[in-house]
Structure 1
Amino acid sequence: MEIIGRLTRDAVVAKASAERQVVNFSIAVNDSYRPKNSTEIKRIVTYIDCSYWLSTGVAQYLKKGTAVELFGRIGLNVYIGNDSQAHGSLTFHTSNIKIIAFVNDSAETEKNTDADAQKSRKEPDGLPF
């Protein structure tokens, strides 16, 4: 199965057991449709929890807003809650991650450039003119 979306938060590496680690992250998948007999387009967002077990090195590249294409399978987690009721959740178990677009850090770069410019204006340069 293949899904494409953007990360909703930075990936987190969690320890599953003494020797196993997993990269957990969540993506948002945007979709749209037009209801029958309507001209209005409805937009929906589906949030999907994902896990990647093969390597934790990829976590450093999985930042909020990064567009990814994922290949894998859907897993079902079922458990009995504190309220004695059965609960379930879906997780996309990723076997291959393809990064489509990285997050643009231009806002952070602009902040640093502005701060450097202000700093240089305040400091005397030692020139007599």
Structure 2
Amino acid sequence: MEITGRITKDATLVKISKDKQVVNFSIAINDAYKPKGSTEMKQIVTYINCDYWLSPKIVAYLKRGSQVSLFGRIGLSVYCNAEGKALGNLTFHVNHLKILVFAKKENDSSSTLIPPASPITEDKPDDLPF
């Protein structure tokens, strides 16, 4: 399954054991629809908690406002609270993560930050087959 959204707050790194760490973060997914018989669009936001176990170093790049594309599976935890009411928690277990737009730095006036690409020099031949 693939989902795309913006990170709601900076990711955190949680140490589970001596050699296991998990990156926890949440994303917001914006959507809109027009109810039947209405002329106005209704905006909805869905918040999803996410966990990523594969590389703890990614936590430095998962900042509030970054737009990410996530591949993985949904997990659902259901439990009863102290009053006996059934509650649930939706978690997206991320297998592959792609940062689409980096978060804006606080002192930067541009709208987004894009990591610098390696410079292209004309004296090196292109290895592309086309």
TM-score range, shorter chain: 0.7 to 0.9
C-alpha deviations, 1:10-59, integer Å up to 9, x for none?
A: 00001223321100000000000001111100000000000001110111
Matches for 1:18-57 after TM superposition, within 5 Å: 18-57=18-57
Report the TM-score when normalising by structure 1.
0.77
Amino acid at match of 1:15: K
* Count of aligned residue pairs for this structure pair: 109
Distance in 2 separating the partners of 1:59 and 1:45 = 24
Report the TM-score when normalising by structure 2.
0.77
Larger radius of gyration: 1
Alignment partner, residue 125 of structure 1? none
Structure showing the higher helix proportion among its residues: 1
Gaps of 5+ in 1: 111-129
Distance in 2 separating the partners of 1:84 and 1:20 = 34
Report the 3-state secondary structure (helix = DSSP H, G, I; strand = E; otherwise coil) of the residue aligned with 1:17.
coil
Distance 1:84-1:39 versus aligned 2 partners, 3 A rule = closer
Gaps of 5+ in 2: 110-130
Distance in 1 separating the partners of 2:36 and 2:75 = 33
Report the 3-state secondary structure (helix = DSSP H, G, I; strand = E; otherwise coil) of the residue aligned with 2:107.
helix
**Percent identical:** 55
Matches for 1:1-129 after TM superposition, within 5 Å: 1-105=1-105, 107-109=106-108
Amino acid at match of 2:6: R
